[in-house]
Structure 1
């Protein structure tokens, strides 16, 4: 059974996807991510107004819930990205699967601010966490899970040092990174 926080995170992810899709509607105006009346052409005025108001109300309510989760330390928000943990320690494949099942991916910092947000969760749980970074089979270089080159690195001194045997990356409680075998149990932190 999912926790209340998990349901909120799923709702936030769904809203984010919905708002992103709606913001691409031709003629969209109004609240960010919510189409204005121009974006609802073809609907009767009363229905367009009702639809617009319902979406605006939903966005305000989810914004308040997100603020509560941030205040209570349940999530960390950096720009449009949200980082959260279910508190479970699992191997890399299981951590990635857990994140993908709820519409996210394994957290991987692309800058210092994101690294700090992930580190805050690592410190809160006092457990090392896997990052969404792996050693590429073809290149032998570490890349994000989607295969793109790293934009930001924060390796611990003398790391990576696995000489090809350590293909995953974990974050220490000080925010630095270490290459690690993928079968160890580490904290799951997802990015939405």
Structure 2
């Protein structure tokens, strides 16, 4: 059902698709989901609507997010763990594959040696590494 609504929204045939999809507009730049899903489904949904999973590139972005998106909810961000070589890896923004040079990790994060390859922002505003197949709300960001 959600995929059909997203397709209709893309085609411009269903004006209430945003509300029907369970996403809520926050300010001019963000959509937040009202349901939990995997990282991949969140990525695809944002992309289909002309958005991307939210990226926080610096403290200014973090402050903007804090002023727009209510703290108290956990949701996916658009960062993933990329293994580039045997002993080299990094966190990157999935939309650009640029390194996530700014981070606001929770204490003990990212979890060393785990299989948590996707990033979530928890109710406190800090980031955590999570398994990509975990269920979480998600935050889409308007593509400039």
Task: Confirm or deny a common fold (TM above 0.5).
Answer: yes
Change (3 A) 1:83 1:151: farther
Runs of 4+ in 1 over 3 A off after TM superposition: 1-5, 116-120
Matched, 1:106 2:53: yes
Conserved? CA contact 1:166–1:179, under 8 Å: yes
- Distance of 2:45 and 2:61 partners within structure 1: 20
Q: Which of 149, 157, 165 is the matching residue for 2:99? A: 149
Over the aligned positions, Cα root-mean-square deviation in angstroms equals 2.4
Paired positions, count: 121
Q: Which of 28, 34, 40 is the matching residue for 1:87? A: 34
Name the one with the larger strand percent: 2
2:69 matched residue in structure 1: 121
2:121 matched residue in structure 1: 171
2:130 matched residue in structure 1: 180
- Distance of 1:173 and 1:130 partners within structure 2: 11
The structure showing larger relative contact order (alpha-carbon pairs under 8 Å, at least 6 residues apart) is: 2
Consecutive unaligned residues of structure 2, counting only runs of 5 or more, are 10-14
Consecutive unaligned residues of structure 1, counting only runs of 5 or more, are 8-72
Which one has the largest radius of gyration? 1
Q: After TM superposition, give the deviation of residue 164 of structure 1 in Å.
A: 4.2
Q: Provide TM-score, normalisation by structure 2.
A: 0.72
Conserved? CA contact 1:87–1:187, under 8 Å: yes
